[in-house]
Amino acid sequence: MSRYDAIQVGDMAEFGKTITEADICAYVAVSGDTNPVHINEVIASGTMFKKRIAHGMLSAGLISAVLGTKLPGAGTIYLSQTLNFKLPVYIGDTITARVTVLEKKGKFRLRLLTECINQDGKIVITGEAEGMLKE
């Protein structure tokens, strides 16, 4: 049985990480996104968030960790992703990315529910992805 055949609708995998100051700094260095709401406490305090927030794509990147290491796993080709940012993520929040198989779409393709959930159980990001197993 192939790895694709072993995957069933409803299968789920997760990866969690606490977002740190170092993560924000590394993301700034890699992405070039120096929006003050992420790096300047004084400016961020004047926003609706009242303090610095993590880059949305930093948290969304945890979804990629699930896809590439757990479900579907190594060799997965990430084809598409929609994202809806629901709540801010702050330094010190623990974010769990969860991927659930919604549909098997023909030869080695999967439609996936993608969610990022904070330590309080609140969904901070939701969306759908499509991935393809390389088999």
Q: What is the pLDDT of residues 43-76, one digit of tens each?
A: 999 999 999 999 999 999 999 999 999 999 888 9
CA pseudo-torsion sign 54, 60, 65, 71:
positive
Question: Which of 135, 117, 134, 118 lies closest to 126, judged by CA?
Answer: 117
Q: How far apart are CA 50 and CA 94, in angstroms?
A: 19
pLDDT at site 107: 83
CATH of 3-19+56-132, one of 3.10.129.10, 3.60.15.10, 3.20.20.70, 3.40.309.10: 3.10.129.10
φ/ψ of residue 45, rounded to 5: -65, -20
- Give the number of other Cβ atoms within 10 Å of residue 20's Cβ: 13
Q: How far apart are CA 54 and CA 128, in angstroms?
A: 21
- Whether the predicted model's global pTM rises above the 0.85 cut: yes
Q: How far apart are CA 53 and CA 27, in angstroms?
A: 12
* Domain residue ranges of the chain, discontinuous segments joined by +: 3-19+56-132
Q: What percent of the chain has pLDDT over 70?
A: 99
Where is 54: in which H helix or E strand? none
pLDDT digits (tens, 9 = 90+) for 106-118: 889 999 999 999 9
pLDDT greater at residue 15 or residue 4:
15
Name the pLDDT band for 135 (thresholds 50, 70, 90): low
Q: What is the mean pLDDT of residues 11-34?
A: 97
Name the pLDDT band for 134 (thresholds 50, 70, 90): confident
φ/ψ of residue 47, rounded to 5: -95, 175
Half-sphere exposure of 56 (CA within 13 A, CB side): 14
